[in-house]
Amino acid sequence: MASDAFQKAIVSDKYSSPDKYKLALDGYRIRFRESFENLVILSTLQNVRSFWYQEETAKKVLKMFRGRALLADEVGLGKTIEALIVFKEYVHRGMVKSALILTPTPLVSQWRDELKTKFGFDIPSTDDENYSVRGDSFWKEPFILSSINIAKSNKNFSQVTEREYDMVIVDEAHHLKNRNTLNWKLVNALKKRFLLLLTATPVANNLMELYNLITLLKPGQLKTAAAFKAEFMTRGDPTDPRNRSKLKELLGQVMIRNTRAVAKLDIPPRIASTIRVEPSAGEKSLYERVCRLAKSINAAKGAGRKFLIKNLLAEAGSSPQALSITLTRVLEKRELLLDQENEIRAIITMCRTMGDTSKNKMVLKLIRNASDKIIIFVKFLGTLEYLSAFLERNNISYALFHGGMPNRQKDEQIELFREERDILLTTEVGGEGRNLHFCHQMINYDLPWNPMKIEQRIGRLHRIGQLNEVMIYNLCAAGSVEDYILDVLDRKINMFELVIGEIDMILGRIRGEQDFSDLVYDIWINAPSVTERDKLFNQLADKLKRSKTGYQKTKVLDEKLFGENYEL
Domain ranges for the chain: 19-256, 270-277+356-563, 281-353
Q: How confident is the model at residue 13 (pLDDT cuts 50, 70, 90)?
A: low
More confident residue, 77 or 163: 163
Q: Which CATH class name applies to 19-256? A: alpha beta
Q: Residue 544: which of 501, 491, 498, 488 has the closest Cα?
A: 488
* Alpha-carbon span 248 to 341, nearest angstrom: 66
Which positions ≥6 away from 365 have C-beta within 8 Å? none
Question: For 309-313, what is the mean pLDDT?
Answer: 96
Architecture of domain 270-277+356-563: 3-Layer(aba) Sandwich (3.40)
* Alpha-carbon span 211 to 219, nearest angstrom: 10
Locate all alpha helices (DSSP H) within 152-274, ordered by sequence. Answer: 157-162, 182-189, 207-217, 225-232, 244-251, 260-263
* pLDDT for res 169: 98
Let me know: does 427 contact 402? Beta carbons within 8 Å. Answer: yes
Q: How confident is the model at residue 431 (pLDDT cuts 50, 70, 90)?
A: low
Partners of 474 in the beta sheet?
274, 444
Quick one: CA torsion of 246, 251, 252, 253, rounded to 10 degrees? 110
Check whether 27 has a pLDDT greater than 70. Answer: no
* pLDDT for res 335: 84
More confident residue, 424 or 244: 424
More confident residue, 27 or 451: 451
* pLDDT for res 283: 97
Question: For 342-352, what is the mean pLDDT?
Answer: 95
pLDDT tens readout for residues 544-554: 999 999 889 88
* Alpha-carbon span 390 to 327, nearest angstrom: 22
Q: Residue 179: which of 209, 149, 220, 217 has the closest Cα?
A: 209
* Alpha-carbon span 232 to 213, nearest angstrom: 16
pLDDT tens readout for residues 219-235: 999 999 999 999 999 88
Question: For 458-486, what is the mean pLDDT?
Answer: 91
* pLDDT for res 512: 63
Q: How confident is the model at residue 7 (pLDDT cuts 50, 70, 90)?
A: low
* pLDDT for res 11: 55
Q: Judging by beta carbons within 10 Å of its beta carbon (0-12, 13-18, 19+), is residue 200 exposed, middle or buried?
A: buried
* Alpha-carbon span 80 to 173, nearest angstrom: 12
pLDDT tens readout for residues 106-158: 889 889 989 998 999 999 999 998 998 998 999 999 999 999 999 999 999 99
Let me know: does 442 contact 470? Beta carbons within 8 Å. Answer: yes
DSSP 8-class letter at 492: I
pLDDT tens readout for residues 490-527: 988 999 888 777 888 888 777 666 789 999 999 999 99
More confident residue, 499 or 80: 80
Q: How confident is the model at residue 19 (pLDDT cuts 50, 70, 90)?
A: confident
More confident residue, 134 or 239: 134
Query: Would you say the C-alpha torsion 96, 97, 100, 101 has a positive or negative sign?
Result: positive
* pLDDT for res 1: 47
Q: Residue 313: which of 518, 535, 540, 105 has the closest Cα?
A: 518
CA angle 359, 365, 366 (to 5 degrees): 90
Phi, psi dihedral angles at 234 (to 5 degrees): -90, 125
Q: Do domains 19-256 and 270-277+356-563 have the same CATH topology?
A: yes
Q: Is the pTM of this model over 0.85?
A: no
pLDDT tens readout for residues 197-209: 999 888 888 899 9
Q: Calculate the average pLDDT of the chain.
A: 89
The percent of the chain in helix, strand and coil, each rounded to the nearest 5, is 55, 15, 30
Q: How confident is the model at residue 2 (pLDDT cuts 50, 70, 90)?
A: very low
> Chain centroid to CA 186: how far?
23
Highest mean pLDDT of the ranges 5-9, 350-354, 460-464: 350-354
